[in-house]
Structure 1
Amino acid sequence: MLRHLLKLIWKRKSRNMMLSLEILLAFLVVFAIAAFGLRHYQLYQLPTGHEWRKQWSVSMRAAKDLPNDAAIFDNLGRSLLALPEVEAVAFSWFGTYEMSRWTEEYTLPDGSSQITIDGLGVSDDYFRTMDMKLAAGRWFSRADDGADATPVIVNQLVADKLFPGKNPIGQLYIAKQAGKEAPKRYRVTGVVAQFRAQGELQEPVYMMLPRWIPGVGKETANNIMLKLRPGTPRTFETRLNARLKQVRGDWNYIVTPLPDGRKSMLGTQMIPLTILSVIAAFLLVMVAFGLFGVLWQNTTQRIPEIGLRRALGASAGDIYRQIVAEQMLLSSGAMAVALVLLVQLPLTGVFGENLDWTVFFMASVLSAGVICLLSLLCSLYPGWRAARLSPTQALHYE
């Protein structure tokens, strides 16, 4: 039976070529969307390295650049900790679940292992405020005052890249600078498994959290991170803003509970996937109409052949199964060709971790299921219509 069907498909190869190409392109589109969506799901399952359920973020804005004044930041911290709803206060260059990023190139002191690292300067209390966990080493603190290099917490990616096979704790690396100034030095005090400031759908990046000290250096903190007691209502925002205005009434404050910031960030990051899904759905509808029309036309042109089979004793069920089986074989062949082309992507690693073998296999299975279902649905009615033909009607067809 299979050999007979393959012969029938081969004899109509010129007509089936365009149909196969259409199925192949549809499979590629579905695969791309499936892989993109599965990668998003894969990222969502990874830890972010920080908490968000009880944390609030306060972005500070001034008419000019915020001053790095130790007295101001000390006053802000003490005033906020006096509120009964506040458990911990910390400062950072920018907040989490924001589109802000700060990157720079770094190397080992001998100039090797150059990498680009995302940075986020934070105060000593940041880790307690964000409920972070160490993988190795310790958090920096006032015990690091006067250190010969800036204490820094790095994620595991940085530790593996800069210090492969070594204990990263206590290791030194420097900022790559083109000028004659002495490069800034960083000494690793601790390692976290991961830290993704932009949330669950951010790709893992090389990340460092250098120590920021109020009143020291040019960089200033533009953000306050708060850890609130469980059950704190949203109405607390009014009291919080009033307390901040008491400290610096000439600054503006944007208060964002991290659950809201997370929801907004996820919505923004999902926009490309949503757009691509709509486009893919539209293309699949167009492909479905095309497949249905071609199958209808092919069935009409094959009425004499169908009538001869019926006259030789084939049942209506045999005809029905033949039409459906031919379409499924044609779809399988087109998908096999597409997979031969697509398997080169994870083999060459052109997309890196965005298309690992797990994503590839899951996207292949999902795409194959969608195309098989589409092909089956498009072939059901033409097959049913062909099966209804009586031998007399078919043999008299012109």
Structure 2
Amino acid sequence: MGSRTRTRAGRRARLVPPRLTPRDVLHAGSAGLRSRPMRVFLSALGIAIGIATMIAVVGISSSSQAKLLRELDKLGTNMLVATPGQGMFTGQDTTLPPDAPAMIGRIDGVLSVGTTGDVAQSVRRSENIPAGETGGIAVKAVKDDLLGTLRARTGSGAWLNGATGRYPSVVLGHVSAQRLGITAPGQQVFIGGRYFTVTGILEPVPLAPEIERSALVGWTAAEELLGFDGNPTAVYERSADDRVAEVRDLIARTANPKTPSAVSVTDPSAALQAKAATEGAFSTLLLGLGGIALLVGGVGVANTMIISVLERRHEIGLRRSLGATKGHIRIQFVTESLLLSGLGGLAGIALGAAATAAYARAGDLPWVVPLWAVTGGFAATLAIGTLAGLYPAVRASRLSPTLALRTG
């Protein structure tokens, strides 16, 4: 019979090869997977490991970054700290003028000011502890609205007030409380030859780690009981969000008009911002390892498809003899490869998301798995599956039907 045939009306119609519907393609592509489940599992495992590694790395990095950004949002980025800077000569000690806090507080845009001054005394758990064993805890005099400026909170007890700030009372940073073995307010510590009663213990203060390792006493009590000279050593200020840059330019000249260079102005939130910006830099290496695992999984899929072609030559020859075209054979094996990779990709995404959730739960982090990582990872598996299935599919389509039937 020729390539053309005559119809009842005398017209000729071209013979058209059968077409595969999407349902037919899916059925034909999944037939090989259903018949060899263990091989499918092992081949998909390599893809799953690669995608799981990539999703977990990105998810853990994003979760850590999200925590830092939440802390920054809560703590704010509008706090600056003025401290003594470098003098005109190398090694020269400088101090802030006594009226520096009040002058900084008058700058337009400044909302609140808190002040600390270093006290040349040590703090110990009791008088029986050797004077040299201070545990790295500093004693600081405090005044103004330090607690509100730092946006700090007392975990237990109360902050110093106008009354307790005049008497031997002390508030401990949470690190200093741990080092001294103080667990609750009401206990006492030994400072400058006398006992001070602990009135409160602070919660962590990320923007002022020096406060966490300090024992804080009232300004008046420090001057009258501990020989404090009254010079401020750090002035913390909060300004309006839209005035931070302007206030920063004015602080040094306002705090010390005679020698502005003797005042150092820092942004304590810059460290957290930099950490948030660079979070995940180390993850690049782990992403590379995940990519290598994904490529290895792709090689495994390609190997599986080649073996499948060799084992199914009789099936290929039978389909060709029944009218299947080379294109039908190619799309069958490419679809099978795509399904195999897709199953591995879905399993890898689930494993990676679960690993991220476990890490976030253990580290008290928000669980974040970026959508771009999920879609990108799955797209990568489909690309790997397509590439891995092309050569076996082309090889299968080139098999001679008669030879395949004879050797199958």
Residue equivalent to 2:143: 124
Distance 1:76 1:286, change over 3 A: same
Residue equivalent to 1:5: 33
Deviations 1:104-156 (A, max 9, x none): 999899xxxxxx9998956232134345567876532331134333135769x
Length, aligned pairs only: 345
Q: How does 1:281-300 map to 2 (within 5 A)?
A: 281-300=287-306
Work out whether residues 23 and 335 of structure 1, in 8 Å CA contact, stay in contact via their aligned partners in 2. yes
| 5+ long unaligned stretches in structure 2 | 1-26, 128-134
Between the aligned partners of 2:39 and 2:107, the Cα distance in structure 1 is: 82
Distance 1:3 1:209, change over 3 A: farther
**Are 2:272 and 1:265 equivalent residues in the alignment?**
yes
Work out whether residues 173 and 185 of structure 1, in 8 Å CA contact, stay in contact via their aligned partners in 2. yes
Work out whether residues 173 and 186 of structure 1, in 8 Å CA contact, stay in contact via their aligned partners in 2. yes
Among candidates 136, 139, 153, match of residue 159 of structure 2: 139
Between the aligned partners of 2:171 and 2:390, the Cα distance in structure 1 is: 74
Residue equivalent to 2:262: 252
Distance 1:119 1:48, change over 3 A: farther
RMSD of aligned residue pairs (Cα, Å)? 5.4
Distance 1:3 1:308, change over 3 A: closer
Q: Which amino acid aligns with 1:325?
A: L
Helix, strand or coil at the partner of 1:274: coil
Deviations 1:287-341 (A, max 9, x none): 444344443344344433344333444864543433233344556778899999x
**Are 2:234 and 1:234 equivalent residues in the alignment?**
no
Residue equivalent to 1:381: 387
Q: Which amino acid aligns with 1:265?
A: L
Distance 1:186 1:352, change over 3 A: farther
Distance 1:326 1:198, change over 3 A: farther
**Are 2:85 and 1:61 equivalent residues in the alignment?**
yes
Work out whether residues 239 and 247 of structure 2, in 8 Å CA contact, stay in contact via their aligned partners in 1. no
Between the aligned partners of 2:48 and 2:55, the Cα distance in structure 1 is: 10
Work out whether residues 154 and 209 of structure 1, in 8 Å CA contact, stay in contact via their aligned partners in 2. no
With the length of structure 1 as denominator, give the TM-score of the two structures: 0.61
User: What's the offset of the Cα at 1:379?
Assistant: 0.7
User: What's the offset of the Cα at 1:367?
Assistant: 8.0
User: What's the offset of the Cα at 1:76?
Assistant: 1.9
Helix, strand or coil at the partner of 1:124: strand
**Are 2:271 and 1:243 equivalent residues in the alignment?**
no
Deviations 1:326-374 (A, max 9, x none): 344556778899999x69x95xxxx896545974xx6699988765543
Between the aligned partners of 1:246 and 1:364, the Cα distance in structure 2 is: 50
Helix, strand or coil at the partner of 1:273: coil
User: What's the offset of the Cα at 1:267?
Assistant: 1.7
Work out whether residues 121 and 211 of structure 1, in 8 Å CA contact, stay in contact via their aligned partners in 2. yes
Residue equivalent to 2:170: 150
Q: Which amino acid aligns with 1:80?
A: I
User: What's the offset of the Cα at 1:382?
Assistant: 3.4
Q: How does 1:309-348 map to 2 (within 5 A)?
A: 309-313=315-319, 316=329, 318-329=332-343
Deviations 1:237-267 (A, max 9, x none): 45432233336x39722224x4xx5345322
| 5+ long unaligned stretches in structure 1 | 95-103, 110-115, 200-204
Between the aligned partners of 2:363 and 2:33, the Cα distance in structure 1 is: 36
Residue equivalent to 2:67: 42
Residue equivalent to 2:98: 74
**Are 2:195 and 1:195 equivalent residues in the alignment?**
no
Q: Which amino acid aligns with 1:305?
A: E
Distance 1:327 1:61, change over 3 A: same
Work out whether residues 31 and 364 of structure 1, in 8 Å CA contact, stay in contact via their aligned partners in 2. no
Deviations 1:22-57 (A, max 9, x none): 75366346424422431331343347764433x322
Helix, strand or coil at the partner of 1:211: strand
**Are 2:97 and 1:91 equivalent residues in the alignment?**
no
With the length of structure 2 as denominator, give the TM-score of the two structures: 0.59
Between the aligned partners of 1:184 and 1:352, the Cα distance in structure 2 is: 43
Between the aligned partners of 1:128 and 1:338, the Cα distance in structure 2 is: 41
Q: How does 1:165-204 map to 2 (within 5 A)?
A: 170-172=185-187, 174=189, 185-189=196-200, 195-197=205-207
Distance 1:311 1:230, change over 3 A: closer
Residue equivalent to 1:303: 309
Residue equivalent to 2:52: 27
Q: Which amino acid aligns with 1:390?
A: S
Work out whether residues 106 and 173 of structure 1, in 8 Å CA contact, stay in contact via their aligned partners in 2. no
Identity fraction in percent = 7
Q: Which amino acid aligns with 1:286?
A: I
Between the aligned partners of 2:364 and 2:286, the Cα distance in structure 1 is: 22
Over alpha carbons, which structure has the higher Rg? Answer: 2
